[in-house]
Amino acid sequence: MINLGIVVVYVVPKWYEAMLTLHLRQIERHTHMPYNIFGCAVRSSAEALRILRSNSSVRLCECLPTTATGSGEHSHYLECLTKIAIDAGVTHVVTLHVDSFPIHDGWVDTMMNKLLDLCPFVTGEGANTACLMFSRQFYLRYRPTFLPTDAERSQPSFRDCVSKWKLRTHSGVGYAFRAYQHGLAACYMPEVHRKNSLASVYAQQILHFNSGFRITRPIRSKEPGLWYSACASILAAACHVFRGIVPANTRQAIRNRLGRKILESIDQPRIYRSCTRLCLEREALLANPDGYIAQMLAQPNKASHPKSKEE
């Protein structure tokens, strides 16, 4: 009998409580088998804690704090929650983010049907913990970690894995590396997204509002000038080339000397434009989730195809 453990690190400031509510509602709506959500609340509002505690499917877990940041912090809590879920007897684990959730009733079956002896975990491109499923057997046999250790990162085989499988070194890459070490494959779900959209849809089953929790309304009081709007794409391309050819220490020296001018002329306008657009998109999702999801599914702009990565 399938016993699903959903593992989520809940970082929910006050302005993100509506996304948490949608996330929990979508899981309940589309999951029709025994499941529990194993979560821990990190830097979350009092209302977010109330929402989590009032949901009978959520098991809030105590994990030791960490001084790590970014992917290191996320991976630390995922390790803790996954161990708790396995110890509780779940047959399968799937990781989600606060801004990722199922959009179709068959999401669990679709992912489980892709699990094979030589393809022991299913995820989005790049081993993405916004949706990463694996079995109890894989976890107990191979003992993967969400991030490789420093010693593992220094191995040529890790660099080969990152290069061949086109991975980003964020939480989840450790699962890909463990499969690679043992001659196994990673099963990647097809991903669909539209131009200028923050969201992705995996295999028509999971929506991920990428990096949504990081976005707040910009505090700048006025929009960038017309010159910036007209030259934004050229400036972005020039900055990309600049970063590629100028050594990091030289770039830092330039930023130290011209920091205020760079902030005012490049950073603030770019942040304003990006955050405003992405906040509006998030508000559209929260105002009409079904309509937003239908648009995502009906009008894809770019799709990647399902694939397995093999050594």
Query: Computed over its alpha carbons, how large is the radius of gyration of the chain?
Result: 21
As separate numbers, helices (DSSP H) first and strands (DSSP E) second, the chain gives: 12, 13
Q: Say which range, 20-24, 79-83, 297-301, has the weakest mean pLDDT.
A: 297-301
What global pTM score does this model have? 0.79
The per-residue pLDDT for 186 is: 81
Closest by alpha carbon to 272, among 237, 234, 221? 221
Q: Say which range, 14-28, 93-107, 165-179, 272-286, has the weakest mean pLDDT.
A: 272-286
**Confidence band (pLDDT; 50, 70, 90) for 124?**
confident
* Residues in CB range of 36: below 8 A, 6 or more apart: 4, 5, 6, 57, 58, 59, 85, 88, 90
Percent of the chain topping pLDDT 70: 76
Nearest-angstrom CA–CA distance, 96 and 145 = 16
**Tokens encoding 89:** 């007897």
Mean pLDDT, the chain, integer:
82
The per-residue pLDDT for 221 is: 42
Closest by alpha carbon to 137, among 178, 92, 174, 95? 92
Q: Are 144 and 163 in contact (CB under 8 A)?
A: no
